[in-house]
């Protein structure tokens, strides 16, 4: 059971930071289905620099992880700028743009990894960047508590980073001038505009934030799940899972944390459950059912809470300053 809880955090927190990115984008009014693609673009960039740094300096993968995360944020942000420009300035349909971003990201990262491996690193046309494992630690003492001890076992250092970032983002969204203006743009951009807020700038920056955060989350997931970046293995729909989580959490940060942890718990509980002696199912089999659960739960929640459909008022609407 210990492993279930520690895995819940190790998987759920990266999911959470990606979802926060989605929250920022959507609450500024830009529909964002491209979290999957941003995740991949960020993880690719981070993995690339991780591999370069490790080969040049020989530092351990755990130490290099911090650089990887930094570059992942940059890579995610730069890639997301395409979506930002398309949606905010070029009046593209936001749903289409999001889907296209995902397609582009998969194709682009797959191509780049193989090509860079072949041409730049000269190790042959393989599709993987090996980044190694991330560092983790266990808090002595508390971790021995039965049951809840799992929460304090095998904590990856990136989880701490994510918690700090999440707190910063929370304050940014709810307590600062920027956050207030961002939320106004997503509810009623005309009001923001008449109050002197530049809706275009705010929406653009919100999408970049979602790119950066998705990149960070994607990088952490790459470290945790597969210790490498491989475009064929990476895109498992976790970007869509975080969208599901933020919808379940009504576009609010704390409920979304709950949703992410819930979804993550369900996933690892299933794996653990299937591995119990006496249960004759392979872990893969059971886990698939449980993996459907997050989505079913969200759908049911939407049906039952349809009265309080809380999406941002102007979500998905292209803002045109000329129309008064």
| Smaller CB separation from other proteins, 149 or 218 | 218
Q: List C-alpha distances in Å: 30 to 58, 88, 98, 241, 283.
A: 42, 8, 10, 18, 38
Q: Which of 53, 62, 81, 93 binds other proteins (CB under 8 A)?
A: 93
Q: Which of 35, 192, 213, 266 binds other proteins (CB under 8 A)?
A: 192
Residue 285 touching other proteins (CB under 8 A): yes
Cα separation, 300 vs 52, whole angstroms: 46
Stretch that binds other proteins, among 16-24, 157-165, 254-262, 293-301 (CB under 8 A): 293-301
Q: Which residues contact 39 (CB under 8 A, 6 or more apart)?
A: 18, 76, 214, 215, 217, 218, 221, 234, 238, 239
By rule CB under 8 A, what string of x and - marks binding of each residue 98-117 to other proteins?
-xxxxxxxxxx-xx--xx--
Q: Which of 128, 183, 211, 256 binds other proteins (CB under 8 A)?
A: 183
Positions 146 through 175 that interact with other proteins (CB under 8 A): 175
Residue 318 is given by DSSP the state P
Q: How many residues bind other proteins (CB under 8 A)?
A: 73
Q: Rounded to the nearest whole angstrom, what is the least distance from the CB of residue 305 to other proteins in the complex?
A: 9
Report DSSP letters for 119-143, one per residue.
Answer: IIS-S-S-SEEE--PPPEE--TTGG
Q: Rounded to the nearest whole angstrom, what is the least distance from the CB of residue 158 to other proteins in the complex?
A: 25
By rule CB under 8 A, what string of x and - marks binding of each residue 29-48 to other proteins?
--x-x---------------
Q: Rounded to the nearest whole angstrom, what is the least distance from the CB of residue 286 to other proteins in the complex?
A: 8
Q: Which two tokens stand for residue 120?
A: 């730049």
Q: What are the backbone dihedrals phi and psi of residue 130, each rounded to the nearest 5 degrees, phi first?
A: -85, 120
Query: What SS3 state is found at 47?
Result: helix
Positions 220 through 279 that interact with other proteins (CB under 8 A): 236-237, 240-241, 243-244, 247
| Smaller CB separation from other proteins, 7 or 31 | 31
Q: Which residues contact 18 (CB under 8 A, 6 or more apart)?
A: 35, 39, 213, 214, 217, 218, 238, 239, 242
Residue 138 touching other proteins (CB under 8 A): no
Positions 196 through 215 that interact with other proteins (CB under 8 A): 196-197
């Amino acid at each position: 059971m210990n492993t279930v809880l520690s895995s819940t955090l190790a998987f759920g927190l990266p999911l959470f930071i990606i979802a926060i990115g989605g929250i920022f984008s959507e609450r500024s009014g830009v529909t964002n289905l491209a979290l999957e693609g941003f995740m991949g673009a960020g993880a690719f960039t981070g993995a690339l620099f991780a591999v370069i740094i490790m080969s040049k300096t020989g530092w351990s993968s755990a130490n290099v992880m911090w650089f990887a995360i930094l570059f992942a944020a940059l890579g995610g942000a730069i890639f997301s700028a395409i979506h930002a420009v398309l949606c905010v300035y070029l009046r593209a349909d936001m749903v289409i743009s999001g889907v296209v971003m995902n397609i582009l990201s998969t194709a682009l990262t797959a191509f780049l990894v193989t090509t860079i491996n072949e041409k730049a690193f000269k190790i042959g046309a393989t599709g993987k960047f090996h980044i190694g494992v991330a560092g983790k630690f266990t808090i002595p003492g508390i971790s021995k508590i039965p049951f809840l001890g799992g929460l304090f076992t095998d904590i990856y250092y990136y989880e701490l980073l994510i918690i700090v970032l999440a707190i910063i983002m929370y304050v940014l969204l709810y307590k600062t001038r920027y956050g207030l203006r961002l939320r106004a743009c997503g509810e009623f951009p005309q009001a923001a505009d008449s109050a002197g807020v530049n809706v275009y700038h705010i929406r653009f920056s919100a999408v970049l934030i979602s790119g950066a955060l998705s990149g960070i989350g994607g990088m952490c997931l790459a470290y945790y799940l597969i210790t490498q970046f491989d475009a064929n293995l990476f895109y498992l729909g976790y970007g869509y899972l975080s969208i599901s989580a933020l919808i379940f959490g009504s576009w609010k940060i704390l409920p979304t944390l709950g949703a992410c942890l819930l979804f993550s718990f369900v996933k690892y509980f299933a794996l653990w459950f299937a591995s119990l002696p006496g249960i004759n199912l392979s872990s893969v089999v059971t886990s698939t059912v449980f993996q459907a659960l997050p989505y079913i739960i969200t759908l049911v929640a939407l049906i039952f809470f349809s009265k309080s459909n809380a999406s941002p008022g102007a979500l998905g609407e292209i803002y045109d300053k000329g129309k008064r």
